[in-house]
Structure formats: structure tokens, C-alpha cells
Amino acid sequence: MTAKCPAVFGISGQALTVDEISFLKDANPVGIILFARNVDTPDQVKRLNDQIKNILGSEAHILVDQEGGRVQRLTPPHWAQFPAAETFGPVWQENPAKAAEDVKKHYELIGNDLAALGFTVDCAPVLDLRFDWAHDVIGERSFSEDPACVADLGRAACEGLLAAGITPVIKHIPGHGRALVDSHHDLPEVDASKEELAQTDFAPFKDFAKSEVAHHVWAMTAHVVYKDIDPDHPATCSSRMIQTVIRKEIGFSGLLIADDLDMKALRGSYREKLERCFAAGCDLILQCDGDLSKMQEVAGASPAFSSAKLNL
């Protein structure tokens, strides 16, 4: 089946409504992303994911944010509480090989949980650097402030997810760590020079992009303005950031999905946001809040899409 809508949508509850079923059949999006509001028990999640695939086809993608730590949609008592990424950074400083093996096992366990429920994509790991003076929207979600550590453990995390049959999504390319505000609520603007960013924030993504595993993952954009490169647009909507920095200088060639269109960092109507995202070079977009009227608006404004892009 060829996807007609280059979007991944959130849904409202723990089962599809009649109106959502009708919408999904008509719009035929690339996939669905689940949040805590969609999760109760393993049997319920499996039924929901089966229902989604029955409508969209077996090739449809079902995403979730299952990082561990405070960003984990599947939680106790039905699922294990996994540690945050920051747990592994100090181990890497003492023994990089042990830390990488621990991370690979950790993410393979996460992937096994997801695969058993019918998920296909995990929006993890975070390859952003940790800056203690920045906003804590990243914080413990980062492996380290050390670019080499983040790249190494990011590779290991992706290897673990892939071993379980789950596609990883590295985020938030080209780096959200030094943002002083949360892009869910405000537009972060980073003043650091391009040279400094290349040595720090961009470095884990560039190192990761050289690895074999990079050919099998997606990446999620950062809704962040890098003023020395493009002072007028966040990376998600900047052809300069995507085509020059992400694609050429960092070297990431996989599928690029824009972070949620409903985040306050992006301005304008859905049509304006979509036009900017796709013109800049994003392959897919996220619209997450489960509001059917918004999904309909996004689907109506979206360009045609070939599912061949899913195999970049």
C-alpha cells in the first residue's frame, strides 16, 4: 500500500473511535504514535496496535517514545521501569566497552517489549548533549556531555533496538541540548557559533552517521533556531539546516521526521507549517495530540507521498 499522507498521527484513547477509523481509512497515513493516554494493559495495547494494522496494512508503522527514565509511555506495573540514559555515561567514562554492551542489552529489552505489542518504531535514543546550565527538557535523557560517549552509546542503543526488530529514531538532530527553553512551549534560539556547534552538539550525530547502523534508523528534527546558521527558521523548517548541515555536513541520509507540529516552537497554520517542513527537506511530520479535526486539517494540507521513502 502506498501512503497518501506523509504523517504520523496521535489518537485520542485506548481504542479507535468510529470517526478515527473512517479518517485513517481515507487519509492512509504512514503511521500512528501512541502516548500514555493510549496505554492500559498489554492486551489492550496489542489489540489497539492490531486494529491499527488491520486498517492501515501490515506495513504501517506504530511509534512510541520509550526511552527509559521520565520518557517512558509503557510503565509499571505491566512493564519494567528502565533507567534514564544518563545512568550509562559515567560507566562509559570508566569502561566504554561495558557501557556499550549494557546499553545494547537495555535497549534490546525495550525493543522486545515493543515488538511483542506490535510496535515497529521507538523514538529513541536521544543523541543530544547534556548541558547542566540549559533547560532540563533534555537533562537525564542524554547519555553525557561528551560527544564521543553520546555517539558510542547511541550506536549501541540502536543496535539493541534493531536486534529486537524495532526501528530507532535518533533525536533531536542536529542537537537540542543547549536550548534554554523547552520547544514544547517556546522557540529555543541558540547563539553558539557554527564552529562551536560542529565540535559539540552536531558531533554525536556526525559520528553516528558514519556507522553502518545509521543506514537503518530514522532521525527526528529539533525545533531549534541556530542563529549563526539560519537566524530565521528552526532546523525543522530550514533548508539550510537540513540540506547543508544535516544531510551534507553531518551526513545523515536516512528518513527525517519533523518533531510534533503542535509544539509551540513552530508558528503559523498547519498548512504553513507543512509547507515549511517539506520544503526544507523533512520526509514525514508528527501531529500528536489526538484531535481529529486537527488530523483532518493536516491530512487535507499534506502533499502526496510515496512509501518508497520509508526505505531510504
Q: Are strands 71-72 and 66-68 parallel, antiparallel or unpaired?
A: antiparallel
The one catalytic residue in 26, 184, 185, 215 is: 184
Rounded CA gap, 100 and 154, in Å? 9
Whether 184 is a known active-site residue: answer: yes
- In one-letter notation, the amino acid at residue 254 is G
| CA–CA dist 273, 285 (Å, integer) | 10
Looking at the DSSP assignment, which residues form a beta bridge with residue 256? 219
Distance from C-alpha of 241 to C-alpha of 94, rounded to nearest angstrom: 35
Q: Which three cell numbers stand for residue 62?
A: 506504530
Q: Whole-angstrom Cα distance, residue 100 to residue 106?
A: 10
Catalytic site includes residue 102: no
Q: Of 201, 259, 260, 283, which is the active-site residue?
A: 259
- Strand partners for 61: 31
Q: Which residues are catalytic?
A: 184, 259
